[in-house]
Amino acid sequence: MRIVSGIQPTGSLHLGNYLGAIRQWVRMQDALQPGQQALFFIADLHAITVFQEPASLRQATREIAAAMMAAGIDPARAILFNQSQVPEHAELAWVLECIARIGWLNRMTQFKEKSGKDREGASVGLFAYPVLQAADVLLYKATHVPVGDDQKQHLELARDIATKFNTDYGVELFPLPEPLIAAAAPRVRSLRDGAAKMSKSDPSDMSRINLTDTADDIRQKIRKARTDPEPIPQDVKGLEGRPEARNLVEIYATLQDRPVASVLQDYAGQGFGQFKPALAEVIVAALEPINARFRDLLAHPQAIDAALANGAAQARALARETLAEVHAAVGFLK
């Protein structure tokens, strides 16, 4: 078992990243058996598919590393690094770009969303982004990739690329990576719009809970979160067609590791005026310790850089082995 996953440094970490991905990463890391490995990286190569101010990118990379460690990723047990320090990611991506078909990439919904109406004006990197993502996991022969639901399509593409590479070259080089989608929080929604996912790129900070928000920020954001005038229903069926209400109840249930139905039993018949303060306190209780550790870690940026450099060296050792096999399979001279 080899677990691999990544996150983009394009803003601060939010509750969607935490519940959809990082909390699973920490749990999987904590459950690792001898011989199993986990690699978690900050996808800075992916971030520049859309222009990033260099100083902001550097800062965001350190902040995400600190937030990951604060949330429980332990560089002594998992390999934690930033992608650009392992040039093999970009090198394998090139080979895989020669495997992936333009038609496959044309179907990627994230590219359509991110490029919007100006498809011709998007970077080539944004179009090729899912191939780099395939390289990220295939480079380490990942068997399991814990991600939120929004990354499922990219992971399916990675499997298609792996299959075509193995078939074209007549090898069994890449195992097919299995996406692991958090059952409890597959997609945390925006606090302002139940139709949109909670996202780093939403211009409204009120739409998300950042892992670095203060307790007062959290209380205010939950107080102002959009809901409907109906009370909390008796059962899960009663949440149908009520995406904002469902989102808040799901966040509560997931943070407490309880089924949604059991939370509904506690609050059935009450209005959101009563539920929201309780939810805010559940979030504050979960994030406050992370927040405190985050601030301590961020006070020592050299230590963060050193941890990332150390992780990159470990990742490179694994990456070089796969890349040597790829070179041999493709027919590159040694």
Residues binding ligand TYM (CB under 6 A): 5-8, 16-17, 20-21, 43, 46, 133, 136-137, 145, 147-148, 150-151, 185, 187-188, 197-199
Concatenated DSSP letters of 134-162: HHHHHTTT-SEEEE-GGGHHHHHHHHHHH
Q: Which is nearer to ligand TYM, 133 or 212 (CB)?
A: 133
Least Å from the CB of residue 133 to ligand TYM:
4
Known catalytic membership, residue 114: yes
Known catalytic membership, residue 141: no
Residues comprising the chain, all counted: 334
Q: And the tokens for 172?
A: 């069994």
Q: Which is nearer to ligand TYM, 189 or 276 (CB)?
A: 189
Least Å from the CB of residue 67 to ligand TYM:
12
Closest CA to 297 of 212, 233, 195, 194: 212
Q: Which is nearer to ligand TYM, 16 or 233 (CB)?
A: 16
Least Å from the CB of residue 261 to ligand TYM:
21
Known catalytic membership, residue 200: yes
Q: Which is the catalytic residue, given 117, 200, 221, 237?
A: 200
| First vs last C-alpha separation in the chain | 30
Closest CA to 239 of 260, 209, 266: 260
Q: Which is nearer to ligand TYM, 20 or 233 (CB)?
A: 20
CA 203 – CA 185 distance, rounded (Å): 23
Q: Which is the catalytic residue, given 112, 164, 197, 221?
A: 197
Task: Tally DSSP H helices, then E strands, for the chain.
Answer: 14, 5
Q: Which is the catalytic residue, given 114, 141, 152, 164?
A: 114
Least Å from the CB of residue 96 to ligand TYM:
13
| Active centre residues (catalytic) | 114, 197, 200
